[in-house]
Amino acid sequence: MSTPGSSIADFLAMLAAERGAARNTILAYGRDLEQAQEMIGGQLDVASPAQLARLGQGWSSLAPSTLARKISALRQYFGFLVDEGLREDDPTHTLPRPATRRPLPKILSHAEVEMLFATVEDEASGDSPAAVRLLTLLEMLYGSGLRATELVSLPVSAVPRDVPFLTVTGKGGQARMVPVSQRAGKALQRWLALRPGDSPWLFPSRNGHISRVRLFQLLKDLAVRADLPPEKISPHVLRHAFATHLLEGGADLRALQTLLGHADISTTQIYTHVDAERLVRLVNERHPLARRRSSD
């Protein structure tokens, strides 16, 4: 049974063990709940509906996304208390319900992606390890839709031998198989031949593997050399481009969810806005009633 003050730790442990929540999510929820406890001046697990209503008022100046996260943390926490029999009522009905909109992803055109590749392919035409490494990183960001953290932390053991798949550990420690294109596979083989040392990491550095910050810097510098605005290029933008361009090519949304490692398909659905015209055309051309009208 939880002791006073320990229920927050128990809730966070449940998130990690049962829901596979990412470490950053657990830390953020922990900060939100501790802050809420400080604001009410007592134990959060016995807070009244009136105290929670005052919390919502005190957070009214926060950005909608931040407010939504804090309220989500509280609702999940009190739901946990009720499920565990630590509380009979759920007081969160007095919290506001912020209307948030997931921001639309930044989009790269096909031409802009081609400019990036033309630049790095020209630079990697020789055997410069730095240029071949950057080509490999770009191929795997745009060709496989990897997150920055997933890419830089890839071990050498994840590289496919006979099967064109990578084994990637994503958010919450969830493993998934990610296809590697023929282009990316060729770049990988070039990089493996030039890769220095015996580090267990695919992209080693002096202190382990290259960092997310270093990956951002490499891409910004490449954008400048490709005559593109550096603020427009990042690992996540390339991941968005991977998803967007696959949808444009007719990819199934469920398949895209699997490739991106999204736990919830609602996260994947953000990409459908870029392909609205194709979807409308699909309904007009492929729906049985559309064909019936044409025959009439």
For CATH 1.10.150.130, the residue range(s) in the chain are 7-94
Residue in the block written with tokens 């590697």: 180
Integer Cα distance of 65 and 67 in angstroms? 5
Residue 33 bridge partners (DSSP) = none
Residue pair 105/143 in contact (Cβ under 8 Å)? The answer is no
Residue pair 104/273 in contact (Cβ under 8 Å)? The answer is yes
Residue pair 128/114 in contact (Cβ under 8 Å)? The answer is no
Q: Is the pTM of this model over 0.85?
A: no
Integer Cα distance of 157 and 63 in angstroms? 42
Integer Cα distance of 269 and 143 in angstroms? 20
DSSP annotation of 155: B
For CATH 1.10.443.10, the residue range(s) in the chain are 110-280
Residue 145 bridge partners (DSSP) = none
Active site residues: 147, 171, 236, 239, 262, 271
Neighbouring residues of 207: CB distance < 8 A, sequence distance ≥ 6: none
Instruction: Give CA torsion, residues 152, 158, 164, 168, to 10 deg.
Output: -60
Q: Is 202 helix (H, G, I), strand (E, B) or coil?
A: coil
Q: What is the CATH number of domain 110-280?
A: 1.10.443.10
Amino acid at 143: G
Q: Which fold has domain 7-94?
A: DNA polymerase; domain 1 (1.10.150)
Q: Which of 81, 6, 4 is nearest to 73 (CA)?
A: 81
Q: Which of 128, 260, 151 is nearest to 216 (CA)?
A: 151
Residue in the block written with tokens 């009244």: 48
Which phi-psi region, left, alpha or beta, contains residue 65 (left: φ > 0; alpha: ψ -120 to 50)?
A: alpha
Residue-by-residue pLDDT tens, the chain, 296 positions = 444 457 899 999 888 887 777 788 899 999 999 999 999 988 999 999 999 999 888 888 888 878 888 988 999 999 999 988 889 999 999 888 766 555 555 678 889 999 999 999 999 998 899 999 999 999 988 888 888 888 898 888 888 776 677 777 766 677 777 888 888 888 988 999 999 878 899 999 988 999 989 999 999 999 999 999 988 898 888 888 888 787 777 766 676 676 776 666 666 666 665 555 555 666 777 667 665 555 55
Integer Cα distance of 183 and 200 in angstroms? 23
Residue 4: predicted pLDDT: 46
